[in-house]
Chain A
């Protein structure tokens, strides 16, 4: 009672189910089942489980039948008899080989087997025929009809008149003289052959289809007449997966496939562009690496000259290069093809910098100043790349000359180099002194790092990354 009052959970076929071996296990567990069994057997519940089962089996035998083999065998079926002539009809000529029998090709491929068996109509015609002139045996007639069927089939094949399914009467295309010529080797008298041919042709015209079953075309797929059997199955309907089956050979499928094709073409174009972009990026990166390698080289050469500050200078350079790499990594893909025209916006990263105190107006002015000569090319680059030192004023060359101060001369150009290892640039320091800094035009870094250079850094690294 309680057992049926709730619905059991659906059974999970992957879940391991416990197997209860002992009858007692579930008799104890399940008073309902036990009571039912007890009632059937008519004994008290005190009996052990095994007794109950034995008793139940006994009652089953007495007239409480469960569906069993006995019942199953009582399904009545129609009857059969022995055939008396069997031993004569089938000869004892079969010797089973010791190995398993392998199938040969179909009979049609083997050739000489006469597939056609005379039917009642043929036999009756033959009887009439032989009553007049006793000169054709049934076996010969079978051969003739079989060969005629075959020759006609070949004739239709040559004429392209073979249809995959039965769509109309199948005509006789074989001519008497052609057939006679082809079957000469059977050495049948012309009169007999002609009679057989005429009989065959009349029969074929009556049947409107080949009389050899193998040559009869199957009914068309859309024929619903249940008498017509063994339709060819349309290949499209018998594809191996459901997904393939869903696609039918119609306009919608065509449109769908065309859409798929268009999408694939677009995807292909997109991928092409993507590949081109990535290649360009790689080329650009290689250029950048080469440039930096050259810069490094110059830097080291400069260090040899300016040995006293080599260590700190190197650190300066490396940190700068690191940050410029970061800039590329952060940069938007779309701009990488033309990175030199990056819009002049302040990178958010700089907002934390000391530089934020500088009014934007000033920055803009500075940037305009720097960009102007850049348009003229690489040769002028060193000028705009000169450090803009805060809290200093640029030197006025006219005033310097008037005061009799000369710029320090450029160091001698080493062989193979186009530029001197460093240049000097003058400025007025915070204390009002005139200071000349050594400045490496290629690395665009000051070779001597003073108190002020830390202020310069943020400015210095803006130009090279997006613009340089």
Chain B
């Protein structure tokens, strides 16, 4: 990797740089010709620094291995302008956008640089292809609630806005967390790479001293709503976005840092927030939350769901999902999460549906309809169908559909779906549905 540093130092001369490059990472059976070509390439790219936006290159990631990236943005890292003094915001093409980050030039393997030719041609042509490409990109990232009203131009603008994370890190309670996505904080906060959140009221500040001063006066030790569930150290609070507008907005700003497909377009007063907390003698610490529309026309029982990164993979997400369905059962309705689901969200939901449905199928003796399954679980019939079909448990035989519930097959699927996480003890849920609240 030292080779790259050499490459970036023009005063060493192109030839020396090239040799060093190949000395560092020479392919054991690489031909002379190939070596020459690579020499020429790195030499020319070294001369063409800084790299253009759109360039594709290999980049050393945190696992110390090279991964293909695409340059999204670049900026000067210091005031004095040398072509090497740039940082690059890169997207690892193998991974989700949440891993996009600013990297130093030394992390990039300039031997592998290639301009994003396709894109350039498309750019010039501004043809159908370009539109389709744009469309796809937009579809992938922005099929969001509330955005249907925006025209394509605004969407592209949005894409442009959100392509680079504005806040790199946050401090929340006892964790300093790398953020995942852009979040539209008020413009006054855009010049800070790190924000300090009050763990309880979720107010955010730019300096640690400001947070410490805030902590002295902050009168909250738990989310500002009603506790509706308590089991051991775990508590769930219901916060009405209308009654606690600033809290709801703070939560949305925070959550957007970890949710790509979330919009903060509309105000929070039409939502209820369910905050899951771990409680100790310092207060109730938020581990995750989900939001829910007060009145949903499409029978959504969940709008956004998030487990904060330090608490992920501990079963909290599954608990939140299970909780949302318990609320639906209390309301006597079937529910479904708002789409699109993120990669992590889909995994969690698939796991939950699989566990719930297969447990029933294991025990159930007589024939059963999808509707009955839906009534028992509050899971929407479409979700039941898609789950069973994806596991290949619904088959068409002799002119009728049957459910194949071989216990061994079910066990295998259940094992693959993972542990159920923390269970919701319904007897500890003390809750009145919003419509019945005074």
| Partner-contacting stretch, out of B27-35, B69-77, B112-120, B395-403 | B395-403
Option from A19, A20, A29, A231 in Cβ contact (under 8 Å) with B266: A231
Interface residues of A in 228-268 (CB under 8 A from B): 228-233, 238, 240-242
Stretch at the interface among B40-48, B128-136, B153-161: B153-161
Could you tell me the distance between the alpha carbons of A351 and B255 in the complex, rounded to whole angstroms? 90
Q: Is A125 part of the contact surface with B, judged by Cβ < 8 Å?
A: no
* B406 with A21: CB separation less than 8 A: yes
List residues of chain A with CB within 8 A of the CB of B267. Answer: 218, 230-233
Confirm or deny: B288 has a beta carbon within 8 angstroms of a beta carbon on chain A: no
User: Assuming the A-B contacts A11-B394, A68-B416, A94-B283, are A20 and B176 also in contact, with contact meaning beta carbons closer than 8 angstroms in the complex?
Assistant: no
Q: Is the CB of B430 within 8 A of A53?
A: no
* Bound CA span A406–B209, Å: 137
Known A103-B225, A231-B265; judge A213-B176 contact (CB<8 A): no
Flag B100-113 by CB within 8 Å of A: 1 or 0 each. Answer: 01000000000000
Nearest Cβ in chain B — how far from A387, in angstroms?
A: 77
Q: Is the CB of A18 within 8 A of B297?
A: no
The contact string, 1 if C-beta is below 8 Å from chain B, for chain A 118-135, is 111001000000000000
Known: A14-B371, A19-B403, A80-B177. A106 touches B343 (CB 8 A): no
Q: Cβ of A103: which chain B residues have Cβ within 8 Å of it? A: 224-226, 237, 239, 243-244
CB pair A16 B367 closer than 8 Å: yes
Say which one of B5-13, B49-57, B214-222 lies at the interface with A.
B214-222
Q: With A72-B418, A94-B221, A233-B267 in contact, do A100 and B402 touch (Cβ < 8 Å)?
A: no
Beta-carbon contacts under 8 Å, A313-363 to B:
none
Contact between chains at A233 and B270 (CB < 8 Å): yes
Whose C-beta in chain B lies nearest to the C-beta of A96? B279
* Bound Cα distance A290, B225 (Å): 75
Give chain A residues whose Cβ lies under 8 Å from the Cβ of B367.
16-19
Across the interface, B243 reaches (CB within 8 A) one of A17, A22, A106, A213, namely A106
A1-27 near B? 1/0 per residue, CB < 8 Å: 001000011011111111111110110
Query: Which of B17-25, B78-86, B307-315, B324-332 makes up part of the contact surface?
Result: B307-315
Contact assessment for B210 and A30 in the assembled complex, using a CB-CB cutoff below 8 Å: no
- The answer to whether B176 touches A95 (Cβ under 8 A) is no
Complex CA gap A94/B203 in Å reads 19
CA distance A392 to B366 in the complex (A): 91
Give A100-152 interface residues, CB cut-off 8 Å to B. Answer: 100-107, 113-115, 117-120, 123, 138-139, 142
B125 interface contact, C-beta 8 A: no
Contact present for A94 and B281 (CB under 8 Å): yes
Interface size class on chain A is: 35 or more
Whether the Cβ atoms of A17 and B370 lie closer than 8 Å is: yes
Q: Are B226 and A138 in contact, with the CB atoms below 8 A? A: no
Q: Which residues of A contact B337 (CB under 8 A)?
A: none
Interface check A227, CB cutoff 8 A: yes
Is B187 part of the binding interface, using a Cβ–Cβ cutoff of 8 Å? Answer: yes
- Which of B95, B199, B206, B235 has the most C-beta atoms of chain A within 10 angstroms of its own C-beta? B206
* Inter-chain contacts of B227 with A (CB < 8 A): 100-102
Residues of chain A with a CB closer than 8 A to B266's CB: 230-233
Nearest CB on A from B309, distance (A): 5
Instruction: Give which listed residue, A17, A83, A142, contacts B368 with CB less than 8 A.
Output: A17
The reply on A311 being an interface residue by CB < 8 A is: no
- A14, closest chain B residue (CB): B371
Residues of chain A whose beta carbon lies under 8 Å from any beta carbon of chain B: 3, 8-9, 11-23, 25-26, 29-30, 49-50, 53-54, 56-57, 60, 66-69, 72-73, 75-83, 85-86, 89-96, 100-107, 113-115, 117-120, 123, 138-139, 142, 207, 213-214, 218, 224, 226-233, 238, 240-242
A-B contact pairs, 12 of them (CB 8 A): A13-B371, A13-B381, A17-B370, A78-B99, A79-B178, A83-B173, A100-B226, A103-B225, A106-B245, A138-B213, A228-B184, A238-B295
